[in-house]
A and B are shown apart, each in its own frame.
Chain A
Amino acid sequence: MYLENGKISERQCFRIGVLENVALGIVLIPYITANVAGDWHFPSLVIGLIFTGIYATVVYFLSKGFPEGMISYISESLGIFGKIIQGIYILRYAVRGGLIIIFFGSIIQEYMLRSFNMWWLIIPFALISGYGGNKDIEKRGRLLELLFWWMVVPIILVAVFSISNLDWKAIPEMVIGFPTMGISSALGKIFMGSYMVLVILSSLELMLFTLVKQKKNSWENALKILIWVLITILVAHILIVAILGREWTGYDSSSVLRVMEASAFPGGTVERLDYPVLAFWIIGVFATVSGYMFYSKELINHIVSKDDCKEKMWSMPVVIVLFVGASYVWSKTIIAKYLTWYLVWIDVAVSIAVPIVVWLIKKGRVKNFLKGTISKKNAKSSIIMLTVLISGIFLTGCSKPKDTVEITKDVNTDYKALSGEQKSLENRDYVVKLNVSSSDLQEEDYSFTFEIADLEGYKGSSEGSLKTKKYECKADGLEDALEGYYKEKERQLDMGHMEDLALEEKLTKENVEELIKEISEMPQIPKSITVAYKKNGESKKISLREMIKYMYAGEDF
C-alpha cells in the first residue's frame, strides 16, 4: 500500500530534524553561554545561532550535492579512501554519542536515581537507543514522527507553567540592556560562547543524510527545521535566564531542571515539574543518540558490503559496544580533556570539511583544477566551498586543550552511586519545616531543627492540621545532618516535602551562602519553598529560588 522505497515524508524529516537537535541544546546552551560569555550571553547566543544557521545552510547545500546520499556515494565511488572516511565518521559519532550518553547518565543519576551505579543507567539506555536505531529509515521516520509530540507538548506545558516565576523585567535587560562598556575586551568570550552554541548544535550535520531521504528534498523543509530548532533554543534560553538569573544559569549545567523544580501544575496535583520534564527529555536524547547509532550502523553496513548494502545482524551490537566504550573513555579525565578539545576544535571542522572535499571530488573539480580545465563558474563555486572550508579550519583548528570549555566538568564520571540506600515511603520521615541556627559548638557550623510530619493516625486533611515532631542536631552541613539521622534512626529524612526554611539571624552571611549553595545543589528540595529570615531585626520572607538567584548574582537579600 505504502511504497517501501527507503524514503520518508517531509513531516517525518522535519520531526527527525527537530528531535535530533533540540534536546541537548535546551539543557546546555543557556548554561554554556551564560558561563562563558557572562553578561554578554544573549549577543553570544544570537551570534551562535547565526553561526548555526550558516552551518545548516552549508549542510543543506551539501545534501543537494549528494542526491543519492553521501554515504552511498562514498562507498560506491571512493574505494579505500571512502572506507577510511566512513571509519572516521563511525569514530566521530561514537565520540559524540559517548559524550552525550555519559552526560545524560550523570543527569539522570543526579536527579532521578542517585542510589544507582551509572552503568545501570547507561547500558539500558544504550541498548534501547540501539534498538531504536536499528531500523530502516522509514521506521525511524515513523518512530520520531510518533515521539515528536511526546517531547514537544510537555516542554510547551512546563514553559507555560513556569511563566509565573518569570522575571519580565529581566527580558528586555537581557536582550537589549547588556553592558556596552568593556564589550571590546569581551569579544573573545562572546565568540567563544557563540562557537560553543555551534558545537552543541552541530548535530544538525545529521541532516546531511536525512534530507536526501525525503521524497522531495525541499529547502522549505530544511528552513523549517532550522527555524524550529533556533526558536526553541532561543525561547528556552530567555525563559531560563529570566527565571534563574544569568549567574545561577551559568553556574549550573542543568539549569533548565532548576527552573522546573520551582514549577508546579496548577492546583498542586504535581508538586514540581522537573521529573516529568526530565522524563520527556529522555526521549529527545534518545532521538539524538539513536540518530548517531543509526548512521554509524549504516556506515558499517556500507563498509563491509561489496556491492549492494545489506543489513548486517551484528552491525548494531558493534555500534552499541562502540558507543558504550566511548562513554567509558570519556570517564577517564585525562583522555576526556583531549577528547573535549578534539570535539570542540576539530570535529565541527571535520563535519564540514569532509563533505566539501568529497563534493569537490564528485564534481571532478579537483581533477579539472589539476589539469587546468576547470570552468569559470565551477571555479567560483569551488572557491566559495573552499573558503568555507578554510574559514572553518581557521576558526576551529587554532586552539590548545587548555582553552577548551569543559562541558564535561559536571559529569559524574566515576559511575558510582551518589548517596545511600533509598527507603520505602513508610520508612521515611517527612520534613515539613527546617530551622537553622548557628551552632554553639566549635566543630559544627549549624544547628538544625527538623519539624517532621507525625503520620501516626493520619487520616488526611479532614482530620485537622498535621501534627509534627521535632528532631534537633548539629552538623557541618545539611547532607551531614541527613546522614546522621539515617545512622541514628535507620530511617531516611525526606526533604522533598519541606515547605518552610527558617534561618536564624545569628548565622553569618558566609554560613547562609554556604547552606543555600548546598541546598541549591540538592535536587530533592523543591526550589519553590519559602525562606524566612531576619535582617536588621526585620522579618523577611522570600522564595528559595529567588534567594539562590540573588546569592549567585552576588546581590544582597
Chain B
Amino acid sequence: MGNITDLYDKDNKLKVDISKYLDINVEILKYLFDKCGDIVQKTIVLEREQGNTRIHVIYVDGLVNVQQIEDSIIMPLSYEWKNTDGRNIWESILYKESHSVDIKREASFDMTINSVLKGDTAIFVDGYDEALVVSTKRFPLRSISENDKEAGMRGPKDSFNEGFRFSTALIRRRIRDAKLRVEQGTMGQRTRTDYAIIYMEDIARPSLVQEIKDRIDRYDIDAILDSGMAEHILEDNWYSPFPMFQSTTRPDKVASGILEGRVAVVFDNSPEVIMAPSNFNMLLQASDDYYNRWAVGTFARILRYVAAFLAITFPGLYVAVTTFHSEILPDKLLFAIASARTMVTFPIVVEMIIMEFLFELLREAGIRLPGPLGNTIGVVGGLIVGQAAVDAGIVSTIVVIVVALSAIASFSIPNEEFASVFRLLKFFIIFTSAVFGLYGFILGLLLVAIHLSELKSFGVPYMMPVVGGLKGDVEERKDFIVRSPINTMKYRPLWAKSGNRIRLRKKGR
C-alpha cells in the first residue's frame, strides 16, 4: 500500500470495500490503525459444527464498555455452538450467539470504521463482505449536573452535557410524543461529529426543517468541536454580532422551543443545543418566566429589557451627558461629579474606557481561572483595584458606579452569547457618544437599530414581535415584555406550521 491518504476520497471517506477475505480486511485495519495504541484488535478462531471460522474484533480502548464486549460478544462466541438451526455462521452470530440487541450489519468499510471510532465494536467474519457492528459505547463523560450557566429559581435544574445521546434523551424524556423527530447525521470530515435535528413533525414548518438540512449540507469542514462552530456555518448573517440561533443548556427550554415549532440541533461533545428561528425577544426570556406567576415573570422581563438597554447605553450616555450636555443633570449630581473629577488626570471618555477595559479583563481572567480563584479575582478586581484606581486619580468614583451598573445589567441577560454582544456594542456607543455627545449616542443607536431591523433568522424578523407581526395579532405580543398568563396563550407563534397553531384549548372543544 502507498500513502494512507490514497485510501480516502476527497470527502475523507474510505474508498475500500469490505472484502470476503478476512486477511485483506485485517491488513487494511492494521495499516489504518498503525501506531494507534488505543486500538484493540484481535483475530479469534470460532469452533463450530460446520467447521472453524475466523473472526476479527476491533474496538477503541477507552470508548467502549469492555465488560459488555466480554459478556455479550467474546464469551458467547467462544462457546462451541453445536446446534446452529441450519443458519450459516454469519446469521448465527447475528441472531443467536451474540447477546446484544443493538447489533447491526454494515456493508461499508467507512461506516464500520466510523462506528468503531465512536465506541462501537466491529466484527469482521471470514468469508463475508459485511461487518457486524455492536453498540458498546461507554466513554468518559460528565454526569448530568445542575445547570450553573442558566440557573433559575424555579423549574428543573438538569442540563445537557457533552454526551450526544444524553442530550437527545433529555429532550425525549420531556416530549413523549411519537411525532418528535430526531434526524441524525454527522458533520465535520475529520471529527465526524454526530448531530441530530429535532423537531415536531406536525408543528415545525417543513420548509424550516429543510432549510436547516440544506445549510448543514452546504459546507465541508474539518471539525465541528462545538455547536458554536456549527452555528456560524449555518447562519446567513455571519457579519452580525447578534446570534441567529438560540443556544441553551436547558433541556426544558429546548422542549418548549420544539413545541412552539422551532427546530433544535444537538451536537455531540457540546453541552449547548442550538435552536432556530431565534429572535431578540427570545434571547431575553428565561425559563422560569413561565414557571412563576405571570406578574412576577412580567416584572422579571421588564427588568431584563431595562437591563439590556442600560448594558448597551449607560456608559455612553454618561460620557455624552457629562462631556457635552451637563445641563440636563440635576445640580447636586453634577457638582458631585465635577468635584469627584478634580483629582482625575484623564478626560471622562478615557477614564471610562480604562474602567471598562479593566472590567472586561477581570471578567476574562475570572473565566479562565479555576472556580475559587476566579471568584477571588472578582473580589480583588472589584474592590481593591477599583478603590486603588480611584485613590490614584485614574478614575472617579462615579465612573466605577457607572461601569459596575452596566456590568450588572449585562449579567442579567439570560443568554451569555447575547449579553456579550451588548458588552461589545457598549464600546461602540461610548465611541460615538464621546465624539458627538447625545447626537452621536442617538446616531450610534440608530445604526444598531438599522442593523437589527434587517436581520432575519430563518425567515423570521429578528425584532419580532416589535416588527413583522400581523396587524392586530395580539397573540404575538402575549409572550413579549408582558408574559401573559399561560391560560391566555392559546396559540403557538407565527413560525409554527400554519393550521396547527392552537396549543391550549378547553377539553371537549
Contacts and interface: CB of A to CB of B under 8 A. Distances in A.
Given A286-B446, A425-B341, A458-B336, A275 B208 contact: no
Interface string A105-145: 00010001100100001001100100110010001011101
Interface residues of chain B: helix, strand, loop or mixed (majority): helix
B442 A2 contact: no
Contacts of B443: 124-125, 128, 282
Contacts of A499: 331
A147 B454 contact: no
B439 A279 contact: yes
A496 B168 CA distance: 63
Contacts of A458: 335-336, 339
B325 to A, nearest CB: 5
A422 B324 contact: yes
Nearest to B207: A1
A524 B327 contact: yes
B243 interface: no
A536 B327 CA distance: 34
B338 A426 contact: yes
Interface stretch (B35-43, B57-65, B466-474): B466-474
Contacts of A466: 335
Contacts of B339: 455-459
Contacts of B468: 2, 9, 142, 145
B446 A145 contact: no
B341 A131 contact: no
A278 interface: yes
B330 A282 contact: no
Tell which of B324, B439, B454, B471 has the most Cβ of chain A within 10 Å: B439
Contacts of A92: none
A146 B437 contact: no
Contact of A146 (B329, B447, B467): B467
B328 A272 contact: yes
Interface in B430-450: 436-443, 446-447, 449-450
Contact of A2 (B336, B447, B453, B460): B460
Interface residues of A, number: 60
Given A128-B447, A139-B453, A425 B439 contact: no
Contact of B438 (A278, A428, A460, A497): A278
A113 B467 contact: no
Interface in A1-56: 1-2, 9-12
A353 B24 CA distance: 88
A483 interface: no
Given A1-B277, A461-B332, A496-B326, A425 B446 contact: no
A272 B438 CA distance: 14
A280 interface: yes
Nearest to B338: A425
Interface in A241-282: 268-272, 275-276, 278-280, 282
Contacts of A135: 450, 454
Contacts of A461: 332
A114 B447 CA distance: 24
Contacts of A451: none
A425 B466 contact: no
A279 B471 CA distance: 29
A97 interface: no
Contacts of A125: 443
Interface in B91-129: none
Interface in A269-310: 269-272, 275-276, 278-280, 282-283, 286
B308 to A, nearest CB: 15
Given A146-B449, A280-B442, A425-B326, A124 B436 contact: yes
B464 to A, nearest CB: 9
B446 A113 contact: no
A426 B344 contact: yes
Contacts of B467: 12, 141-142, 145-146
A142 B469 CA distance: 10
Contact of A275 (B207, B328, B458, B495): B328
A101 to B, nearest CB: 14
B461 interface: yes
A432 B331 CA distance: 9
Contacts of B329: 271
Contacts of B449: 143, 146-147, 150
Nearest to A290: B450
Interface string A141-181: 11101110010000000000000000000000000000000
Nearest to B208: A1
A269 B449 CA distance: 27
B482 to A, nearest CB: 15
A98 interface: no
A10 B469 CA distance: 10
B454 A9 contact: no
A26 to B, nearest CB: 17
Interface string A419-452: 0001011101010100000000000000000000
B358 interface: no
Contacts of A269: 330
B284 to A, nearest CB: 15
B116 to A, nearest CB: 41
A278 B441 CA distance: 12
A282 B442 contact: yes
B463 interface: yes
B302 interface: no
A453 interface: yes
A461 to B, nearest CB: 5
Given A112-B325, A112-B439, 11 more contacts: A1-B208, A121-B439, A146-B452, A272-B328, A275-B327, A283-B442, A424-B341, A424-B348, A459-B339, A497-B331, A524-B327
24 contacts: A1-B207, A2-B459, A9-B469, A11-B471, A128-B450, A131-B447, A131-B450, A135-B450, A141-B467, A143-B449, A143-B450, A145-B453, A145-B466, A145-B467, A146-B453, A271-B331, A282-B443, A424-B341, A425-B323, A458-B335, A458-B339, A460-B335, A497-B326, A497-B331
Sorted nearest first, the 4 A-B pairs with minimum C-beta distance are A1-B459, A496-B327, A143-B453, A458-B339
